[in-house]
Amino acid sequence: MKPATFQYLAPDNLQGAMEYLSENAPDANLLAGGQSLVPMMNFRLARPKVLIDLNLIPELAFIREDKNHLVIGAMTRERDIENDKLVHEHSPLLHRATLNIGHLPIRSRGTIGGSIANADPAAEYPAVILALDASLKALSVRGAREIPAEEFFEGALSTALDADEILTEIRIPKAPEDSGAAFEEIARRKGDFALAGVAAQVTLKKGIVKGVRVAACGVGAGPIRLRNAEEIVRGQSITDELIAAAGHAASAEVEPEGDVHATADYRRKLAGIMTRRAILKAIECAKGPE
């Protein structure tokens, strides 16, 4: 199929994009990597009257350090994140999650901001930025605001962005010393969206879990912070019994829906299994080579 008729605008600077969006909201859509929006337009599930292409705005694509944070431009390609040395060093969870996204052509075109703003419940990046306590910068002609990841996602394909706002950058705290990270997911085929996925970052001090953040995708209307699972292992020396309890807590925390790919009960069980795997692998990474 072909998309419905729309007006195409391609600003070459951020100010121009904000002005176009202000003039045309709420009837405009922003085009980032297009990996979700373009197929939806082709099937006429999305029918924007105006399409504003962000791909000609160089100031939206970057990865840089800012004291204790990594700052990533919303139009940064997933492939660039996958290969970036700063990401490898300071946000291993982000790196490992990126490796799970689709296939190479998708990562070469897809952007971190596009994935986050699209807010697909099964996407990896929303769960990762929730687990990493990231914040997001939104700009409009009215000004700028910072939105914590905890407040950004409002449901399936729904975020706290106003109709005239552009997500411009993501601020991610650098991983603490003595921390380890893991991203575990299961899908029907490699490259498919996850039936269930879990992001975990764990900090160890003398064998005790001093810090832990865990979030899941694919098992609810959006990314879910698994706080009960975190509380079970925080402050503890890890045992098989604790890991099993964390998995059970995760299964109880999520509220998946069934679909043609998996029943709700199956996704709930997977959430517990992926939680156990992610926490264990993060702990092993935190211990380092023996």
Tens digits of residue pLDDT in 211-254: 999 999 999 999 999 999 999 999 999 999 999 999 999 999 99
CATH of the domain spanning 59-173, picked from 3.90.230.10, 3.30.465.10, 3.40.1160.10, 3.40.50.300 = 3.30.465.10
Mean pLDDT of the region 1-13: 95
Reported confidence tier of residue 290, pLDDT bands at 50, 70, 90: low
- Rounded Cα–Cα distance for residues 135 and 281 (Å): 26
Which residue intervals of the chain bear CATH 3.30.465.10? Answer: 59-173
Which residue intervals of the chain bear CATH 3.30.43.10? Answer: 7-53
Let me know how long the chain is. 290
What pTM value is reported for the model? 0.96
Tens digits of residue pLDDT in 159-178: 999 999 999 999 999 999 99
Q: Which CATH class is domain 179-287?
A: alpha beta
The sign of the torsion formed by the CA atoms of 108, 109, 111, 114 equals negative
Q: What is the CATH code of the structural domain delimited by 7-53?
A: 3.30.43.10
Residue 65: per-residue pLDDT: 98
Which residue intervals of the chain bear CATH 3.30.390.50? Answer: 179-287
Nearest 5°: phi and psi at 284?
-60, -40
